[in-house]
Amino acid sequence: MQIVMAASECVPFAKTGGLADVVGALPRELVKLGHKVTVYLPLYARVRPMIAENQRTAVESITIPFRYYNRFVGIVDGGARDGVQFYFIDCPELYDRPDLYGPNGGEYLDNAARFGLYCRAVLEATKLLGVPDIFHVHDWQAALIPVYLRTVYASDPMFRRAGVVLTLHNAAYQGKFPPVTTEQLLFPWDLFTMDKVEQYDRFNFLKGGVVFSDMLTTVSRRYAEEIQTPEFGEQLEDVLHNRAPDLRGILNGVDYAQWDPAVDRNLAAHYTLDDLKGKRACRADLLHAFGLEHVTETASVIGIVSRFVTQKGFDMVSRISEELAARDVAVAALGSGEPIYENFFRDWAFRHPASVAVRVGYDDALSHKIEAGADIFLMPSRYEPCGLNQIYSLKYGTVPVVRATGGLDDTIEEWDAAQGTGTGFKFHGYEPHDLLAAIDRALAAFKDQDGWTKLMRNGMARNYAWSGPAREYAEVYKEVVRRRG
C-alpha cells in the first residue's frame, strides 16, 4: 500500500514533543511490513542545514491560491532514509522562522495560513509525485487535508480512491481561528457550520479533520474512551462520540534504536536487564550534570523530562514541593514551556540547591541521561494521550510514578511487593496528597534493594516495539481501502 504521512514534526528534523518521535518511527516500521511511505514536512529554518547536502528540487513551483494573492511553494526532495521518502514544503516566508509554532511556546499570528497552505501543498504535491492509497494525517496542523479532499477537491478524479486516517495525539490542541479563516483559505461559507468546521464561532482545524476523515485513531485505548467525555474531550466529545465506530486507540511504540540503555550513545555507561551495573555510573553522571554530586547513596533520584504545560500536572508538584524536598530524595528536572512552571522549578531549585536542580530548555542528550540516571520518573499528568517518557523509563529501569490517565494508565501497572508483580506506582485523583502518597510508596519500595531490583527488571522486560502498533495501523488502512472500494 502507498501511504503519505503528513505532520508538523518528525525526528530527527523538527521536534517539540512525542508527535515527532511517532512520525519518526512509524513510517520505517510500515516500510518493513512492505508498504511504501512518504513523509511531507514543512521546511522550517532548522531543517534547511540538515538536508543541505543531498537535497534536490522535486517540484519547482506549486501555486497555492489565497483570497487576493497566490503563494508559490517548492517541493524539496530530502531523499530516502531507511526506505522512507522525505519531501519538504518550501515556503520561506511562512516557515523560515526560529520556532515551529511561535515564540516562547506561543503562536505565530498567521498559523492558519501556515498550516492551511501546508495541507493544500501536500495534496497538490502528491498529484505530481504520487497520490497514495492512504493519507495518514496527524494532529490539527495536518487536519485540513481531509477537509480539502472531501470539499474543494471532491471532484478531482486523481483523489477519487484516496482514503484518510487522522490520528489525534492531543485533543486539546485544535487549531482554532476566527471565522474569516474560512474564506482566507478559500473554503465555501457553507462549511462554517456546527456539523462541519465550526466550533463555538471558531474555525476549528481538528474538528474538520474529525468530521471528514474516513477513520480516526488516537494513541492509547484509554484516551480513545476519555476523549468521548466532557472531562477530556475539550468540547469535541460529542463529535468524537458520533464517530466512535470509526475510532481506534493504538498505543504508541518505542524506537529502541534510540531508547535502549544497552546502546544509547548519550550515556556514561551501558546496561541491560541482566547486567545492571552501568546504571550506577549513569546515576553519578546525571548528578554531576545537574551539580548534585553531594546527594547521598540512600536518596532516590527523581527525574522529570517534560514540556512545562498545564497538561503535565506540575501545579500539583508545586503544592507538595516542600514536603517532597524534606524526604530523602534528589530531583533532576528538564523542560521548558509556560513561564509559571519554569519559574516554579527555578524557585524550587533555588530553595533547595543541594537536592533540587532544573535545566530550563530543550536538550535531547540530557533527556536520555535523565532516563538512565534517575531511580524514579515522575509523570503526574492531568491527562496524557499516550506519554512516551514513562515507556522509555520502563526500558531504562527507572520506575515511573504516574497519574492513572490515558496511556499512563494503559502502560503502568502498580507494584505489588508481595507478589513481585507490577512496573510502577499510580494514583487516581487529582489531589496533591494522592501524588505524594504514590511517591511515598515508591520511596518505601526503594529501601528494599531486592524488591526494587525486581521492580526495575519487570519494567525492563516489557516490550513496546513499533512492530505491533504498525500492524494495527496497517489494519486500519486496509479497512479504509476496503470501505472506499
CB 22 → ligand GLC: shortest distance, Å?
5
Q: How far apart are CA 44 and CA 46, in angstroms?
A: 5
Q: Which does 362 bind (CB under 5 to 8 A by kind): ligand GLC, ligand ADP, none?
A: ligand ADP
220 interacts with ligand ADP by CB under 6 A:
no
Task: Please identify, using beta-carbon distances, which residue of 169 and 395 lies nearer to ligand GLC.
Answer: 169
Q: Which of 374, 461, 395 shows the shortest CA–CA distance to 260?
A: 395
Q: Which residues have CB under 8 Å from 8's CB, separation 6+?
A: 14, 19, 41, 42, 100, 101, 115, 118, 138, 139, 141, 142
* Element housing 42 (H / E): strand 36-42
Give the burial class of 102: count Cβ atoms within 10 A of its Cβ; 0-12 exposed, 13-18 middle, 19 or more buried: middle
Q: Within its chain, how far is the Cα of 202 from the centroid?
A: 25
Q: Within its chain, how far is the Cα of 288 from the centroid?
A: 29
Task: Please identify, using beta-carbon distances, which residue of 287 and 358 lies nearer to ligand ADP.
Answer: 358
Task: Please identify, using beta-carbon distances, which residue of 174 and 355 lies nearer to ligand GLC.
Answer: 174
CB 22 → ligand ADP: shortest distance, Å?
8
Task: Please identify, using beta-carbon distances, which residue of 172 and 417 lies nearer to ligand GLC.
Answer: 172
Q: Which stretch binds ligand ADP (CB under 6 A): 238-246, 299-307, 410-418, 439-447?
A: 299-307
Kindly compute the dihedral angle of the four CA atoms of residues 347, 348, 354, 359, in this order, to the nearest 10 degrees. Answer: -70
CB 476 → ligand ADP: shortest distance, Å?
20
How far is CA 55 from each of CA 20, 52, 88, 93, rounded to the nearest angstrom?
21, 6, 10, 20
458 interacts with ligand ADP by CB under 6 A:
no
439 interacts with ligand GLC by CB under 6 A:
no
Residue carrying C-alpha cell 516500521 = 29
CB 19 → ligand ADP: shortest distance, Å?
6
Give the contact letters, 392-431, x = binds to ligand GLC (CB under 6 A), - = no.
---------------x------------------------
Q: Exactly one of 85, 170, 184, 405 binds ligand GLC (CB under 6 A); which one?
A: 170
219 interacts with ligand GLC by CB under 6 A:
yes
Give the contact letters, 397-416, x = binds to ligand ADP (CB under 6 A), - = no.
--------------------
Q: Which of 25, 135, 42 shows the shortest CA–CA distance to 88?
A: 42
CB 388 → ligand ADP: shortest distance, Å?
4
224 interacts with ligand GLC by CB under 6 A:
no
Q: Which does 219 bind (CB under 5 to 8 A by kind): ligand GLC, ligand ADP, none?
A: ligand GLC
Helix (H, G, I), strand (E, B) or coil at 262: coil
How far is CA 156 from each of CA 55, 73, 127, 482, rounded to the nearest angstrom?
30, 21, 10, 20
Write out the three cell numbers for 108: 505565530
Q: How far apart are CA 456 and CA 323, in angstroms?
A: 26
Q: Which stretch binds ligand GLC (CB under 6 A): 104-112, 178-186, 255-263, 378-386?
A: 378-386
Q: Which does 93 bind (CB under 5 to 8 A by kind): ligand GLC, ligand ADP, none?
A: none
Q: How far apart are CA 237 and CA 228, in angstroms?
A: 4
Task: Please identify, using beta-carbon distances, which residue of 197 and 301 lies nearer to ligand ADP.
Answer: 301
Task: Please identify, using beta-carbon distances, which residue of 19 and 247 lies nearer to ligand GLC.
Answer: 19
Interface positions with ligand ADP (CB under 6 A): 17-19, 21, 305-307, 334-336, 362-364, 367, 386-389
Interface positions with ligand GLC (CB under 6 A): 17-19, 22, 169-170, 219, 252, 384-388, 407
